[in-house]
Amino acid sequence: MTDLFSSLDGASLMSTWLPGIMILLIMTTMFSLQSPLTFINNLINNTWSSNTNSRFNCFTLILITIFTFIMFTNLLGLTPFTYTLTSDLLPMLSMGTLLWLLLLISGYSASLTKSLAHLAPSGAPTILLPFLVLIETISLLIRPLTLTVRLIANISAGHIVLALLANTLSAMFMTRSNIVMLIGMLGYVLFEFFVAIIQAYIFTLLISLYQAEHP
């Protein structure tokens, strides 16, 4: 039985090279039409700058680094015989926890009162405040986990579907349905290409939203 979680799947050797070639062509076309620096600069101007606390303009550089790292790691995982780091719980949870701790410690060090005020929504009934504070505290504590699981689940699910399609394509290599499966697989790879970029964007967007709460 073939292990879908194996990155060295000999049964899908031929079919996994086709998505890899397609990814290379897509990246070449995209970067020839618009340079990576222009692409990232548009993200900064349109989203990150509006969410990032104006007192921490240098944090934008951290967001650019994180976005670039996650995006290219995701795209690298679509090529044959490679392991996707962003589908591994330990390194991504470590990175998410580190960023969360840095923002948390920095925020509480800057202003303990303002940081604690985020736990009590303004205008909430007094009788509900203890319950709301408890919910907000739990939500704050599980941020690294939700940030990590969201990324890992989307990337891993895409790789599992690609493995299923690759195995099916290999089994149908000598049949007429092979062309249909090949077209379907290439279409799904194109979809995964954009998912890889979107997931990197969402990860950094959430980090910028967390940073915007910094007092």
Residue 104 has pLDDT above 60, yes or no: yes
Nearest to 78 by CA among 188, 169, 172, 152: 188
Residue 121 has pLDDT above 80, yes or no: no
Mean pLDDT, residues 153-172: 74
Cβ-proximal residues to 206 (8 Å cutoff; 6+ apart), any chain: 147
Interatomic CA distance for residues 74 and 84, integer angstroms: 6
Using 50, 70 and 90 to split pLDDT, how confident is the model at 77?
Answer: confident
What is the structure's pLDDT at 2? 47
Residue 80 has pLDDT above 60, yes or no: yes
Cβ-proximal residues to 87 (8 Å cutoff; 6+ apart), any chain: 77, 152, 155, 156, 159
pTM reported for the whole predicted model: 0.74
What is the structure's pLDDT at 133? 87
Mean pLDDT, residues 86-112: 87
| pLDDT, tens digit, 9 for 90 and up, residues 1-56 | 444 445 444 434 444 555 555 555 665 655 554 555 566 666 656 665 555 555 66
DSSP 8-state secondary structure symbol assigned to residue 213: T
Interatomic CA distance for residues 59 and 35, integer angstroms: 22
DSSP 8-state secondary structure symbol assigned to residue 54: G
Which tokens belong to 13? 């050797």
